[in-house]
Structure 1
């Protein structure tokens, strides 16, 4: 059984280090940028796509061989270099500094795993096989993508709005829970799927503010 504890990290505006400049590094960089991280890529050479990302994104490119100083102030590190020696050095340095580290395709050199992810607005569903089979994680992700459409993002926005209002207007926790349960049973998802997002929002507000 996996010893990895599932957790979501807030990396907005924080330095995340990616060592390597190839196609794997590209994917890692794009994923980190989606979560508003300040990404630093360290590699003697980087792909044209990474170069392009640096034009308008919160991305710094350091064209050099990895050195321990590159890890300064990083909150996590990902190693995707072509050199096993470099990746091992990244891991060793991260461990020394107690920085979470992931060396791609080497589970034994990982203190965190990057899950396969389904995102629908603020709804995030993470899938991990603890490094045993990325192919299985990808298969599960595709199944979930088919099950959870974009309407879930809108649905969650409405639920979040209703929750804020309920906490301002209803002091009793039990009554708030009853309100939320009633909203969940109100078939808002189906209304959103049918293109009636405004109607779904009105229905939720009617329950919160009777």
Structure 2
């Protein structure tokens, strides 16, 4: 089993060769997913099941025959081993390692250098869930739960952003403004219209929002969030949304690491100033530059007069400020 957390990534396999070793039901599931991703799948197996034999007849896959030749690995991008022969799987993993080729050995995290996650498909939106090979059934159960929670219209919603990406970037070249516009669209009528099947109305509402990009506020904002005792299981939904809106996170990362980890990964981080005057100056500087600044403090500091006073002083400088209860009771 991997001794460190896996690095999540999404691979573009369109038109690229992938080798799958095995011809049974497990191999079939892996090959089906690879074909869906556009990969050119080559299969090496002593025998193919009915589904794979049909795909071979339809020229959807290619078959390699004869004795296994390690040189085959020189021309593929990924290797998937789906046999029940652990010694053979280990040899495949060794040969892949010599070539710095990523390999997935089904149900063997120790031999694998990448895992194939459980997928929630709302193309072009994809959600991947992995237990690092430790508990694949748990990952599948979570996928089942997410399938019921995530509306299928999310794919169409993501498609709208994809189709108009160039126009969006041209009209909103600044990342902070673009992010603010995205938030307005996501909280507007477009998702609801798509969920109800009103695709044309959703497209019109999206285009109307695109025409009104000039109305996006250029001023930044400050969100003052209490972190309680640092228990992430108590974080309120409003605080979680704030952490995910942050362009800049001002905090003492050492005192609330689990809550800080909930913030946007690409948000900049600055240490929390010791005195209130320095904190006010810091928040003003970055909010006035157009950033959404989230300030995180332990305990319930901002729920007291301290937070009210800081919010008032920011408001007097024309900065939108909100005090957010960070933890539920």
Contact 1:191 1:199 in 2 (8 A): yes
1-structure distance, mates of 2:8, 2:125:
16
2:169 is aligned to: 167
1:29 is aligned to: 31
2:20 is aligned to: 18
1:117 is aligned to: 119
1:93 is aligned to: 95
1:206 is aligned to: 208
1:90 deviation in Å? 0.8
1:172 deviation in Å? 4.2
State which of 67, 70, 87 in structure 2 corresponds to 1:68. 70
2-structure distance, mates of 1:92, 1:86:
10
Contact 1:21 1:47 in 2 (8 A): yes
Tell me, what secondary structure is at the counterpart of 2:110?
A: helix
Per-residue deviation, residues 73-116 of structure 1 (Å, max 9, x unmatched): 11110111232222111111001111001111111000001100
Contact 1:151 1:192 in 2 (8 A): yes
Written as runs of structure 1 = structure 2, the 5 A alignment for 1:75-90 is: 75-90=77-92
Written as runs of structure 1 = structure 2, the 5 A alignment for 1:133-152 is: 133-152=135-154
Tell me, what secondary structure is at the counterpart of 2:46?
A: coil
Contact 1:121 1:150 in 2 (8 A): no
1:59 is aligned to: 61
Larger Rg belongs to: 2
State which of 6, 9, 12 in structure 2 corresponds to 1:7. 9
Q: Structure 1's 28 and 171: CA in aligned 2 closer, same or farther, altered over 3 A?
A: closer
1-structure distance, mates of 2:175, 2:109:
44
Size of the aligned set, in residue pairs, is 210
Structure 1: runs of 5+ lacking an equivalent: none
State which of 195, 198, 201 in structure 1 corresponds to 2:197. 195
1:163 deviation in Å? 3.0
What is the root-mean-square deviation of aligned Cα atoms in Å? 1.7
Deviates more, 1:158-167 or 1:138-147: 158-167
Contact 2:189 2:205 in 1 (8 A): no
2-structure distance, mates of 1:170, 1:151:
25
Q: Structure 1's 152 and 38: CA in aligned 2 closer, same or farther, altered over 3 A?
A: same
Q: Structure 1's 38 and 66: CA in aligned 2 closer, same or farther, altered over 3 A?
A: same
Per-residue deviation, residues 39-85 of structure 1 (Å, max 9, x unmatched): 11001211121111123354111233432122121111011123222
Tell me, what secondary structure is at the counterpart of 1:72?
A: helix
State which of 39, 45, 48 in structure 1 corresponds to 2:47. 45
Contact 1:17 1:40 in 2 (8 A): yes
Per-residue deviation, residues 118-154 of structure 1 (Å, max 9, x unmatched): 0111110000001111110110000111111211111
1-structure distance, mates of 2:180, 2:128:
29
- In the superposition, the TM-score normalised over structure 2's length comes to 0.61
1:179 deviation in Å? 2.5
- In the superposition, the TM-score normalised over structure 1's length comes to 0.93
Q: Structure 1's 8 and 171: CA in aligned 2 closer, same or farther, altered over 3 A?
A: closer
Deviates more, 1:26-35 or 1:164-173: 164-173
